[in-house]
Amino acid sequence: MKITKLTKEQENNLAVYRDKWLNKIFNYELYNSKSIESIQNSGKELYKFFNLKKPQVIVMDSPYSCQIAINLLTQVKNQVRDQVKNQVKNQIWNQVRDQVKNQVRDQVENQVKNQVRDQVRDQIEVQVGTQVMHQIIDQIWNQIRDQIKNGVRDQVGNQISDQIEDQVRNQVGSQVVGTVFNKVIDQKLNYFSFSSYINYSDFGWLSFYNYFNENFNIISISDILNKVISFVEHSFMSIQLEGLLIVSRYPNFISRNSNNDLHNTTRSAISFADGYEQFYVNGRSISKEIFENCQEIDSAKIIFQNETNEDVKAAIITIIKENFGNEGLLEMLDAIVIDTKQINHSNGYTETIRLLQSKQKYSFLQNSKGKLNQPYAWIEMTCPSTGSVYLIDTCPTFTNALECAKWHRPNEIPLELEYLWLSAN
């Protein structure tokens, strides 16, 4: 007979399991508890589990170092040397050299020289268990499906795995991979795909099955499930090649906002033991150079004036607002508030919009009537999803923030139409 309802204790355990899985990464439990040796052993066991040749396992502190390491191992070293700062390159190379034997290095070099990089990438996914992982997941899912009613599965999904999937995979892991990818490509190095399985992206489904396994005892292959969990706990992400596994340790610092998006306005939002770090404001990646220049009002002002991308401008505004308050923002813009309006939309959503203008007028600026010698003017709006504050360039003739907001809607929209949102995301 199928299980149709959770007991009180099982219901209480939902939050316990959610927090248990979140703490693995956000309380740095995995970073603190997994030594280089244990990660190497786990990597060897992983390959054995999938019936693959025993690999040389190289442990790096960050996903970026994994990319540099594989580039150092597989390409003409001069090329990599030109692209990567000496200090960083030396630090990473020393780490690699300590862990890899010359013989393996030669083998890998020869192997990759003789293959097109795309072939290597395809080979990785086939080699390390995509098919086997699908079989394992299917087998466990069938057992859960046969023995647990839909409603209970949904309850566990909503309260454990969906939240973990969002927080770990979507709001942290995928962001980190995207930023590493951009940096590697910017440096004109080869980007090697990280593995599809055995990394942060498995947290969602593993937490789901871990809960059922430990609360219901209905999974016949629980030893396999626990093995996979252990592999994932030893690998934030990895590059999996034949005979060679390069693993990144988990981050040692993560900072997020109330929406659980990566966020910090005074330092990097995520960092790793080797010092590699990424900067985010309300979940949006921002370059280190822009971030550091925005720690002072004067330098932020120059960056802001030259930036055309609204998301980057919003990040600058948020940094200044959080670090120096509204007064700091007005100082950066050398501006005054012309008008403030609060608008009550549907479902209790209230929006505050402000009109700002620079004190100074500029001979080259026009208003919408073509008149020169105008001040800079902005309408300030806050994104209800991310909390990011946007300053949109506007016409300085406005004195009413609400009328201005109407004017910024698409050209087809008549100004008489009320400025009201049934939903705003």
- The binding site for other proteins (CB under 8 A) comprises 165-166, 169-170, 174, 178, 261, 282-285, 308-311, 364-368, 370, 374, 376-377, 383, 385-386, 392-396, 407-414, 417-418, 420-425
CA distance 404 to 341: 11
Find the shortest distance in angstroms from Cβ 304 to other proteins. 14
Find the shortest distance in angstroms from Cβ 410 to other proteins. 3
Our CB check for other proteins shows the closer of 303 and 365 to be: 365
Could you tell me which residues are beta bridge partners of residue 239? 246
Q: Are 259 and 72 in contact (CB under 8 A)?
A: no
Our CB check for other proteins shows the closer of 74 and 264 to be: 264
Find the shortest distance in angstroms from Cβ 332 to other proteins. 18
Residue whose entry in the numeric block shows the structure tokens 């023995």? 147
Question: CB-based contacts of 34: which residues, under 8 Å, 6+ apart?
Answer: 42, 233, 234, 249, 250
Our CB check for other proteins shows the closer of 302 and 424 to be: 424
Find the shortest distance in angstroms from Cβ 353 to other proteins. 12
Torsion of CA 390, 394, 399, 401, to 10 degrees: -30
CA distance 34 to 41: 11
Find the shortest distance in angstroms from Cβ 423 to other proteins. 4
Our CB check for other proteins shows the closer of 10 and 282 to be: 282
Our CB check for other proteins shows the closer of 297 and 395 to be: 395
Residue whose entry in the numeric block shows the structure tokens 């999904």? 157
Find the shortest distance in angstroms from Cβ 7 to other proteins. 30
CA distance 102 to 56: 11
C-alpha distances in angstroms, 338 versus 109, 323, 376, 378, 401?
65, 23, 12, 10, 8
CA distance 254 to 262: 7
CA distance 48 to 55: 9
Find the shortest distance in angstroms from Cβ 169 to other proteins. 8
Q: Are 340 and 401 in contact (CB under 8 A)?
A: yes
CA distance 187 to 185: 5
Our CB check for other proteins shows the closer of 151 and 178 to be: 178
Q: Are 355 and 404 in contact (CB under 8 A)?
A: yes
CA distance 195 to 377: 48
Our CB check for other proteins shows the closer of 267 and 409 to be: 409
Sign of CA dihedral 364, 370, 373, 377: negative
Find the shortest distance in angstroms from Cβ 178 to other proteins. 7
Our CB check for other proteins shows the closer of 8 and 369 to be: 369
